[in-house]
Structure 1
C-alpha cells in the first residue's frame, strides 16, 4: 500500500546550478564579465580580508556572500544586470554548461514532471539560464528599490536548509512529492537528504566523484 502511495506522488526534480549543471561557479565569472577586468580586480581586492576571515571562520559563507554582493552590486540598475545576464548566458553557455547535465534536465522536462533550479546564486543572474532550460527558478533574491539594487539580499542566501525552506514556500511540504535532487557541495546536503532520489556530483567525471567521496570520508573521520 505504501509503495502505491509513493508511486502516486507527483515528482519534483530539483537541480543545483553552480558546479552541478555547470563546470564551475558562475556568479564571480559573471561579475568579471559584466564589470570588466579592471573594475572587477579593484573591487575584488576589497574582499581579501573578508575572505581570510571566512577561512579563519570569523565570517560565515553567507556573510562573505553578502559582502561580495554589497561590494559589486550596490547602486547598480537592476535592468543593467538583467541585460548583462542575458548576454553572459548567450556567450558562455557552451563553455559553462555540462552536456550531461543539460540532457538530464531535458529528460526531466520532457517527462512532464515539475522541474526547478534551486541555487545560491542570484536569481537575477540565473534567470536567462532557467528560461533557456525551460524550467522554474529559485535563487538568492537581491533587494531592489525603484529599479536600483541596494546591495542587500532579500531574506537569506539560498543554500543549506534555506533551499528546503524556499522549496516548501513555493511547493508546500516536500513530503507530498517524490523528490529527485542533484547537487555537488555542502550547500546541497539538506536538499539531497530530503530527496527520495539523491544524485551527488552525478554529472562530474568519475575521478572527481571519487575524490569528493574521499574528502567526505576524511572529514567524517576527523569529527570522530
Structure 2
C-alpha cells in the first residue's frame, strides 16, 4: 500500500510576499495611523524586539476587542480580494497546485488568524487549516481580544500538526517554510524546504 503524502505550507513569507498578513489585516481594520500608534506604544512600553507573542497579545487586545464576528468576517472577505490574493507568491502557489494535482493532502500551518485564512483556504481548496483562532464572546459574538488557543508559531505548529497526524509511519511529509518559526516542523519532515521560493 502506498504511503499517504502530506504537503504542509507556512503562509506568511512562504505562500505570500511582503508584510505580515496579520498586520495588513489590522491596517485594513483600524487604519494605518492607529496601527502605527499601537506599534509605537508597544515599543515605548518595552515591547517589539524578540517578543512576537507578547507584541501580538498587546495589539490583538488593543484593536480586536469588542468587534463583532460578523464585522470581522465581512472585513476578511474584502481583505481576501483586495490584499491577500495580490500577495501570493507565484512559485509557491505553483508548488501547492502541483501537490494538489498529485492527490497529496495539502495543509497550511500558520500563526495568522482563522478569520481571514479560512476564506483563502476555501478559495484554494486547502484540505486542512491549522492556525491561530480568535476568541469570541458566546453571547454577543464579539471578539474578546484574546486567542482561543496558543498562537500557532514555532513549536506550536508541530504540536498541532502531530495532534492531527499522530502516526508518523503512515505518511511522507513535505514541509515548506521561511523562518525560525517553521524550523520544528521542517525538521520533522522527510522533505523540508526552507526559503525555496525566494
Q: Measure, in 1, the Cα distance between the counterparts of 2:182 and 2:168.
A: 15
Q: After TM superposition, list the pairs within 5 Å mapping 1:1-224 onto structure 2.
A: 8-24=2-18, 25-50=20-45, 52-55=46-49, 60-135=51-126, 136-146=128-138, 147-204=141-198
Contact 2:8 2:107 in 1 (8 A): yes
Q: CA deviation at 1:43?
A: 3.3
Q: Measure, in 2, the Cα distance between the counterparts of 1:21 and 1:114.
A: 16
* Deviation readout 1:37-88 (Å, 9 max, x if unpaired): 34334433332235x4342x5xx32222211211111111112111111111
Residue 187 to residue 175, structure 1, CA distance change in 2 (3 Å): farther
Per residue, is there more helix in 1 or in 2?
Answer: 1
Q: Measure, in 2, the Cα distance between the counterparts of 1:97 and 1:172.
A: 30
TM-score, normalised to structure 1's length?
A: 0.80
Which consecutive unaligned segments of at least 5 residues does structure 2 have? none
Q: Measure, in 1, the Cα distance between the counterparts of 2:168 and 2:88.
A: 28
Q: Measure, in 2, the Cα distance between the counterparts of 1:175 and 1:73.
A: 41
Q: Measure, in 1, the Cα distance between the counterparts of 2:157 and 2:169.
A: 15
Q: Measure, in 1, the Cα distance between the counterparts of 2:130 and 2:36.
A: 29
Counterpart of 1:216 in structure 2 is none
* Deviation readout 1:122-143 (Å, 9 max, x if unpaired): 1112112111111021101111
Q: CA deviation at 1:162?
A: 0.6
Give the alignment's Cα RMSD to 1 decimal. Answer: 1.8
- Which stretch has the larger CA shift, 97-106 or 179-188? 97-106
TM-score, normalised to structure 2's length?
A: 0.90
Which consecutive unaligned segments of at least 5 residues does structure 1 have? 205-224
Superposition misfits of 4+ residues, deviation over 4 angstroms: none
Q: CA deviation at 1:99?
A: 0.8
Q: CA deviation at 1:114?
A: 0.8
Larger radius of gyration: 1
